[in-house]
């Protein structure tokens, strides 16, 4: 019997819209100074964020009204497209280099970040693939190894850009999906140990990553170079107190804190809105995680359950990583705060993923 779709989970919608609205406000507040200095227009980043937010909302409402089973036969084409784009971005002349990283493809005046497509693409692919091969997952050679090989290919291409933060977010999400789909704990434990060794090697053999690790352990040992981001971020957070210095009144955004509207926007939010503002953000992300995982648990089939788990985990893991970096709880690695940081590709594809999650919620019965 066909299940008739109901209304989406309104608590989930509330959490997303709350984060998106707060993000638009904070993008303007945190970027106005640098936009005025660099583009002679304090609204430069706000206007672009409004366009991307509109496109993101359109993508969300579109995918929310497409039966999530529609994505299953598209899983392999989406993965192949993702791999092609990740390869293209590494080709000189095609990939755009910004701050030493080759992460963007340019199409006219529009730039696309393939790694953001990869976040959604790998979740769509693995949600289908793990369900198809679920009975083999307890066998490492026949079940888990082939799945792992594809993940390593995606991980390696993104790491080559280089973009360790996104690679870790994707790797962590798929690791959770392996667990949710029934892979053996012993196999996952071994993979986790190998992964830790690999991450350490990636840090030790890349000078700038090693400098970031050393700065994380003692940022004041190099306050004007490798420790600068962390120190300025902590100054911003510490200045906020309980209620903040007031919306629009940040001092760190006056060209002290680098990337105040992207990777370190949470620090400006903490400075201007204080503990109350940061707690609000954390509560909204908690609501998103709670309702997203409830959708996964109550999904009408295993595919919907795995897909909802992947979509929820990807967003929450990115949020945890970003906040951990900003609060000096982990070494600096560039990853945006979902829904809040300035950015086009990230916001549009995140909202598209939310739409898929909301579509799954339309087929479950929850209070």
Q: How confident is the model at residue 237 (pLDDT cuts 50, 70, 90)?
A: very high
Residue range 111-135: mean pLDDT, rounded: 91
pLDDT value at 72 more than 70: yes
Q: What is the mean pLDDT of the chain?
A: 90
**In whole angstroms, what is the distance from residue 133 CA to residue 138 CA?**
10
User: What are the residue ranges of helices labelled H in the chain?
Assistant: 10-39, 44-64, 75-88, 114-132, 145-159, 164-181, 185-204, 207-217, 228-240, 265-298, 302-326, 345-361
pLDDT value at 170 more than 80: yes
Q: Is residue 217 part of a domain?
A: yes
Tell me whether strands 110-112 and 101-107 are parallel, antiparallel or unpaired.
antiparallel
pLDDT value at 84 more than 70: yes
Count Cα neighbours of 10 within 13 Å in the Cβ-side half-sphere: 3
Structure tokens at 109: 């005046």
pLDDT value at 343 more than 90: no
pLDDT in tens, 182-201: 888 988 898 888 888 887 78
Residue whose entry in the numeric block shows the structure tokens 């609000």: 280
Tell me whether strands 110-112 and 95-98 are parallel, antiparallel or unpaired.
unpaired
CA 279: distance to chain centroid?
Answer: 20
pLDDT in tens, 14-70: 999 999 999 999 999 999 999 999 999 999 999 999 999 999 999 999 999 999 999
Q: What DSSP element (H or E) covers 97?
A: strand 95-98
Q: Is residue 2 part of a domain?
A: no
Q: Angle at the Cα of 91 (from 123 to 126), degrees rounded to 5?
A: 10
Cut 0.85: pTM above it: yes
Q: Is residue 3 part of a domain?
A: no
List C-alpha distances in Å: 282 to 15, 270, 275, 287, 323: 10, 12, 10, 9, 10
Q: Which of 210, 217, 130, 211 has the alpha carbon at shortest distance from 178?
A: 130
**CB neighbours of residue 180 within 10 Å:** 18
How many separate domains does the chain show?
A: 1
pLDDT score at 366: 56
3-state secondary structure of 56: helix
pLDDT score at 10: 94
Percent of the chain scoring above 70 in pLDDT? 97
3-state secondary structure of 299: coil
pLDDT value at 3 more than 80: no
pLDDT value at 367 more than 60: no
pLDDT value at 1 more than 60: no
Q: Is residue 324 part of a domain?
A: yes
pLDDT score at 53: 96
308 contacts 295 by C-beta, under 8 angstroms:
yes
To the nearest 10°, report the CA torsion of 135, 139, 141, 143.
20
Residue range 271-275: mean pLDDT, rounded: 96
Q: Is residue 4 part of a domain?
A: no
208 or 196, which is more confident: 196
Q: Which of 2, 169, 149 has the alpha carbon at shortest distance from 83?
A: 149
Q: Is residue 5 part of a domain?
A: no
Q: Is residue 367 part of a domain?
A: no
> Radius of gyration of the chain from Cα atoms?
20
Structural domain that includes position 294: 10-362
Residue range 346-355: mean pLDDT, rounded: 96
**In whole angstroms, what is the distance from residue 210 CA to residue 215 CA?**
8
pLDDT score at 2: 57
Q: Is residue 313 part of a domain?
A: yes
Residue whose entry in the numeric block shows the structure tokens 């990853």: 335
């Amino acid at each position: 019997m066909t299940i008739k779709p109901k209304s989406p989970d309104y608590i989930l919608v509330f959490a997303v819209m709350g984060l998106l609205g707060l993000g638009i406000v904070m993008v303007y507040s945190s970027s106005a100074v640098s936009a005025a200095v660099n583009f002679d227009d304090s609204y430069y980043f706000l206007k672009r964020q409004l366009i991307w937010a509109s496109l993101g909302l359109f993508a969300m409402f579109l995918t929310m009204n497409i039966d999530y089973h529609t994505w299953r036969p598209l899983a392999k084409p989406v993965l192949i497209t993702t791999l092609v784009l990740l390869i293209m971005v590494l080709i000189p002349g095609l990939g755009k280099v910004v701050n030493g990283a080759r992460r963007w493809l340019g199409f006219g005046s529009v730039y696309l970040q393939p790694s953001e497509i990869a976040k959604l693409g790998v979740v769509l692919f693995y949600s289908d693939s793990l369900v198809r091969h679920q009975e083999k997952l307890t066998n490492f050679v026949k079940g888990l190894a082939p799945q792992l090989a594809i993940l390593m290919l995606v991980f390696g291409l993104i790491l080559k850009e280089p973009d360790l933060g996104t690679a870790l977010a994707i790797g962590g999400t798929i690791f959770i999906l392996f667990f949710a789909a029934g892979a053996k704990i012993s196999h996952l434990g071994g993979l986790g140990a190998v992964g830790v060794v690999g991450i350490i090697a990636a840090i030790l053999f890349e000078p700038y990553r090693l400098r970031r690790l050393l700065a994380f352990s003692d940022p004041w040992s190099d306050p004007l170079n490798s420790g600068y981001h962390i120190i300025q971020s902590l100054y911003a957070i510490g200045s906020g107190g309980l209620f903040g210095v007031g919306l629009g009144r940040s001092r760190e955004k006056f060209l002290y804190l680098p990337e105040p509207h992207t990777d370190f926007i949470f620090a400006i939010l903490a400075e201007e809105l204080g503990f109350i503002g940061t707690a609000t953000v954390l509560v909204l992300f908690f609501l998103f995680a709670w309702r997203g995982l409830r959708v996964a648990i109550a999904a009408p089939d295993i595919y919907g359950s795995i897909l909802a788990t992947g979509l929820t985990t990807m967003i929450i893991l990115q949020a945890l990583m970003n906040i951990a970096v900003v609060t000096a709880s982990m070494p600096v690695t560039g990853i945006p705060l979902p829904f809040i940081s300035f950015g086009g590709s990230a916001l549009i594809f995140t909202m598209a993923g939310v739409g898929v999650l909301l579509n799954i919620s339309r087929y479950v019965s929850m209070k």
